[in-house]
Structure 1
Amino acid sequence: MSLKELLGRKYVKRLLVARFISNFGNGMGPIAIAFGILHLDGGNASTIGLVLGAQTLSMIIMSPFGGVLADKFGRIRMVAICDIWGSLGLIVQAYYFSTDHVPLAVMLIANINFGLMAGIWFPAFSGVLPAVVGDESLQKGNGIISFVSNTAMISGAAAAGILISAFGSAVALGVDALSFLFSGFILVTMAHLNPPREPNSQSMWEDLRHGWKVFISYKWIAIVVFGFSFILMVWAMGDSVIGPLIAEQHFNGAKSWSFVITCESIGYLVGALISYRINIKYPMRFLMLITFSITIYMWSMASPMPLQVIALCAFMWGICLELWGTIWFTAMVRQVPRESLSRVAAFDAMGSFLLRPVGLLIAGPVVAWLGIPRAMESIALFSAVVIGLVLLSPSVRNMEMPTSTESNLSQ
């Protein structure tokens, strides 16, 4: 299917608009909350880690239930509800930041609420694209969605540095919150594309057990998810907590870190363009090898190297992450039975993000103990060890990309 034909499908453009709007806010959010906290009286790395860690932990807790809810009540409907409800807490948080007095409880409640919604959103979104573009156009459709989403992320990250420097974090946080609200209202109009599942006699716990059995039946999925949880822990420590500290101490604060994150987001965009045409026989082997880019990225911040070098490393990591998103999603959708997809995606999200809150919480204490250079060197080397261990598994190295949708639970 050509790009013109793909874009001509009903609802594709509507989905693209929704993803652009919400990802513009996503580009702003991490930068705005990090520097918003650092600019508060008493704000520090440990507070950033606590707030973002609480958000991720709540997402992890909700993820398996989110997959069941998405399969049961309709995936697009649940994505829309999550966008709208999650935005409400972020609007309240933005208001408090505008007063320069933000109780820790407000940040925790707003971000825990958003995390709970994300725990439903991620597994639910796995079923949105197949409903809109069909199975035969999954990889191309995902590539286009990623391209638009990452263009928005770049724009949001670049705008965040300007807005924070000129007006403070409250404005950027407000834009972030409203972006989810508008995106949710657009997606409500598409909810009928994913009707609720036919009622059955299974309880939620039985649905969860079934989803877990399907998840672990694919060894390559289970092993990669386990390993990637450590990779995302390292990324969270460097990208969300220690990176902003380095920018404050060695460079030009929010503007400098916004530049780094913008380059990372440009990497997403380039990765989306590559993924539109790439065909890899052994996708997991390829993806794990390019994941060494996180090792280089973290190491670049140890000294730190010049800002342009850090930004280049972030760019390469961004390409890697985007290729992960597209190729991983395509492989999973082609092999996992459609009726179990959201539940398997839920365990994927839960497992992948499992150690992220740990990374966010320990980043501050690790820096206090080792100092920034030793901390960054340690987590860089740790990431390399994890990648090497995952590659030792034959089921990961030798997994071949299926050419059509399969439901083979014997793998």
Structure 2
Amino acid sequence: MKTAPESTTIVRTPLRLAAFRRFVLANLISATGSAMAPLALAYSVIEQGGGAGSLGLVLATNTVPTIVFLLAGGVFADRLSRSRILFLGNLLAAAAQGALAVTVATGHATTASIAACGFVSGTAASFTVPATQGAIAQIVPAEHLQQANALLRLPSNAVKVLGPVAGGLIVAASGAAWALAWDSFTFAAAAVLLLGLRLDAPLTRATGVLVDLRAGWSGFWSRTWLWTYTAAGTVLVAAWLAGFQLLGPLVAAQRYAGARDWGLIQAAFASGLLAGTLVCLRWKPYRLLTVAVAAGGALALPLTAMACGSPLLLVLSSASLAGIGLDIAIVAWTTAFQQHVPQTEQGRMSAFNGIGERLAIPLGYLITALAARSWDTQGVLLACGGLIAAATLLNLCVPDVYRVNRLVRVEQ
């Protein structure tokens, strides 16, 4: 199986690989648009007279295809050139955001048209997400995968701190259409860069799609560490979304100084993500999966702090620690996945794993709706923190978690 030409060369850092530098640049460019897109999308709905119901419909139509088509995306990521999939996926997203920008700019946007563009963007993501994991493993030698994963997240996390601010200024000054147009341009630019990777298809044998899907499920289920991590991650992400993203602003309004303090909490979390990336550039733990599972448990900290009515400084510190833990968990998990899942299966394994994360979105909101009938906001927050801690501890009880460790390069 052919990979990027430089992958056979011994290097000290993945940044010496031209293909990886191209991938990082494409990721950075795309991230600048993606950071502004949620705010621009919300205000495009507001500008055409929509309310919470319309925005909910738009967000749902963006999320649904990532669940429905993700398995297909995983199969194709193992059958076709991943660089071509990334090119076509980004090009499709560019077209969808471009069409949305035009309709918003001309005043012809409706909830239905905005939702349709969101559906197309979500469909594109369902094919690009599984291809991304395998593409990195094709480009970068195994011993440099953690550094590569951290370097990829470094610009993305930096943009998360500044992007929403820039997006807010653009929307306030010029309207949502300009921010959406920029998002479209960044997708198109990333598509051109990714096409230049020219990665070959991982699979050479010709088999049916359903055969590949069944084989993928067998491979997923046979790896206990993979499906238990996915199951625990689904609970963890659902509890985090319900506690931090949904209830966090309400608690900030009730017990702190409202929007101002909530903005500080979000900034602390984003800063923690960036700090976690920097840690991963230096620290290379041997027990990759153990670190990934344990570090993810830090998400319980800010939920517990807010539930207990802790002082703002303690909440900010816990949010920062949660960001550090989450980014370490993501980098360690991604590296373990890339090193322990064969190239020919990474697309499908990534898709099965990704479905759990996406199912967590409606699951988190359902948890909140049911719990809110019996408990107050602080009680629900404490329960969400408890779920995160319980999922983490249960996952640490799985013996296979301690067997998925860093593959140390053997010097010849």
Give the TM-score taking structure 1 as reference length.
0.83
| CA displacement, residues 305-324 of structure 1 (integer Å, 9 cap, x when unaligned) | 66665544333222222212
Q: 2:71, 2:366 → 1: CA distance?
A: 23
Partner of 1:21: 29
2:74 partner letter: G
The structural deviation recorded for 1:171 is 4.1
| CA displacement, residues 317-343 of structure 1 (integer Å, 9 cap, x when unaligned) | 222222122111111121112211211
1:208–1:343: 8 Å Cα contact kept in structure 2? yes
Partner residue of 1:226 out of 210, 227, 231? 231
1:129 aligns with 2:136: yes
1:56–1:115: 8 Å Cα contact kept in structure 2? yes
Q: Secondary structure at the match of 1:126?
A: helix
Partner residue of 1:56 out of 45, 48, 63? 63
Equivalence map 1:235-246=2 (5 Å): 235-243=240-248
1:113 aligns with 2:117: no
- Tell me whether 318-327 or 301-310 shows the greater mean CA deviation: 301-310
2:74–2:351: 8 Å Cα contact kept in structure 1? yes
Q: Secondary structure at the match of 2:403?
A: coil
2:15 partner letter: L
Question: What are the ranges of 5 or more consecutive residues in structure 2 without an aligned counterpart?
Answer: 1-9
Partner residue of 2:321 out of 311, 316, 319? 316
Give the TM-score taking structure 2 as reference length.
0.83
The structural deviation recorded for 1:124 is 0.1
The structural deviation recorded for 1:208 is 0.7
Q: 2:409, 2:393 → 1: CA distance?
A: 30
- Tell me whether 263-272 or 205-214 shows the greater mean CA deviation: 263-272
Equivalence map 1:27-66=2 (5 Å): 27-33=35-41, 41=49, 43-44=51-52, 48-66=55-73
Q: 2:271, 2:86 → 1: CA distance?
A: 26
1:241–1:364: 8 Å Cα contact kept in structure 2? no
Larger radius of gyration: 2
2:80–2:203: 8 Å Cα contact kept in structure 1? no
The structural deviation recorded for 1:206 is 0.5
1:86 aligns with 2:103: no
2:48–2:110: 8 Å Cα contact kept in structure 1? no
The structural deviation recorded for 1:229 is 0.8
Partner of 2:297: 292
Pair 321,53 (structure 1): closer, same or farther in 2 beyond 3 Å = farther
- Tell me whether 136-145 or 35-44 shows the greater mean CA deviation: 35-44
1:25–1:153: 8 Å Cα contact kept in structure 2? no
2:29–2:189: 8 Å Cα contact kept in structure 1? yes
2:161 partner letter: I
| CA displacement, residues 320-371 of structure 1 (integer Å, 9 cap, x when unaligned) | 2221221111111211122112111111112232222332466578668856
1:18 partner letter: A
Q: 1:388, 1:232 → 2: CA distance?
A: 15
1:49–1:361: 8 Å Cα contact kept in structure 2? no
| CA displacement, residues 269-321 of structure 1 (integer Å, 9 cap, x when unaligned) | 21111112323243333333332322222344447766665544333222222
The structural deviation recorded for 1:71 is 1.7
Q: 2:117, 2:359 → 1: CA distance?
A: 20
Partner of 1:11: 19
The structural deviation recorded for 1:59 is 0.8
1:87–1:181: 8 Å Cα contact kept in structure 2? yes
Partner of 1:409: none
Partner of 2:4: none
Q: 1:283, 1:322 → 2: CA distance?
A: 13
Q: 2:365, 2:106 → 1: CA distance?
A: 26
- How many residues are matched? 400
Pair 185,314 (structure 1): closer, same or farther in 2 beyond 3 Å = farther
2:285–2:406: 8 Å Cα contact kept in structure 1? no
Q: 1:356, 1:213 → 2: CA distance?
A: 26
Q: 1:125, 1:108 → 2: CA distance?
A: 25
1:140 aligns with 2:144: no
1:70–1:342: 8 Å Cα contact kept in structure 2? yes
The structural deviation recorded for 1:167 is 4.8
The structural deviation recorded for 1:257 is 5.5
Pair 387,101 (structure 1): closer, same or farther in 2 beyond 3 Å = farther
1:334 aligns with 2:339: yes
Q: 1:270, 1:15 → 2: CA distance?
A: 22
Equivalence map 1:142-291=2 (5 Å): 142-167=149-174, 169-190=176-197, 192=198, 194-197=199-202, 200-243=205-248, 253=259, 259-291=264-296
Q: 2:177, 2:322 → 1: CA distance?
A: 29
RMSD between aligned alpha carbons? 3.4
Work out the percentage of aligned pairs sharing the same amino acid.
25
1:353 partner letter: R
Partner of 2:83: 76
1:86 partner letter: A
2:134–2:346: 8 Å Cα contact kept in structure 1? yes
Partner of 2:3: none
